[in-house]
Amino acid sequence: MKRVLIIGAGSAIAEHYARLMAARGGNLFLVARSQERLDTIAADLAQRTGGRVATHVMDVNDLDAHETMLDSAWSASGGIDTALIAHGTLPDQATCEGDVALALSEFSTNGTSTIALMARLAQRLQAQGSGTLAVVSSVAGDRGRASNYLYGSAKAAVSAYASGLRQRLHGSGINVLTIKPGFVDTPMTRDFRKGALWASPQRVAAGIAKAIDGGRAVVYLPGFWWPIMTIIKHIPEFVFRRIKL
C-alpha cells in the first residue's frame, strides 16, 4: 500500500492526483493552507474509497513549520513512498514589476519554499533508503518570457535544484521527478482564454501518476510541450528578445 504525501493538496492537479492514489488504496497525507479545503477533499476521498486520509494545515512560506509537518506525515504513515510538491501561485507579472516586495514574496512561494521542502524531504527519504520525490515545476521555467518571467524564474530555480538533487541521489533508491505542465485549466487560470494547448487537471494528474510509476526523471505534460519548449529554448537570443511571448 502506497504512502503518499501531497503538499499543496488544495490545487486542482493535486486533488485529482489524490483521487487516483486513493483509488489504488493508498494512505494519503494531505497538506494545504486551508483547513476547510482539506476537509472537503478528505471527505470526498473517504466517500469514494474509504481509504485513510490525514490532513495538516501549513503555509509553505513558514519555513520553520516544514519539519513539524514532516514529523506528522512520517508519524501518521510510518514513512512516505511518494511525496508530491504541488503548491504554487500565478502572480501578475505587471504588478510584480512595480512592487519588489510582492515579487520576492511570489518568488518565495513558487521557488524558495519548494526548494526548502525538497531539501528536507531528500534528507528524510535518504534516511529511509527509498521513495519518490516529485515536484511540479513548469514549462515557464525553461526560458524567461516577458509575460511571466517572475513566475518562470522561480520555476527555473526549482527545475535546476531538482536536476542537481536527482544527480546527487542517483543510485540511492530515491527518484526525483520534475513535472513540467503547460497551460492547465484550473481555478487559478479561470480568467485566461483557453485554446488547443490547454489541458485538464485530470489529464495532468494521470500523467504525473504514470511518470512516477515509470521512474521518470523529467516529464512535460501533456507531452507535446517537450518539442514546443525545445524549439523555444533554441531560438537565438537576438531573435528571441524581439518576440512577444
Where do the domains of the chain lie? 3-240
- Which of 17, 151, 161, 220 is catalytic? The answer is 151
Within 13 A of 45's CA, how many CA atoms are on the CB side? 30
- Judged against a pLDDT cut of 80, whether residue 49 lies above it is answered with no
The matching CATH number, chosen from 3.40.50.720, 3.40.50.2300, 3.40.50.10540, 2.60.40.10, for 3-240 is 3.40.50.720
Contact criterion met (CB below 8 Å) for 25 and 4? no
pTM of the predicted protein model: 0.95
Within 13 A of 203's CA, how many CA atoms are on the CB side? 15
Helix (H, G, I), strand (E, B) or coil at 178: strand
- Judged against a pLDDT cut of 90, whether residue 244 lies above it is answered with no
17 catalytically annotated: no
pLDDT digits (tens, 9 = 90+) for 12-30: 999 999 999 999 988 999 9
Kind plus residue range of the DSSP H or E element containing 83: strand 82-85
- Judged against a pLDDT cut of 80, whether residue 51 lies above it is answered with no
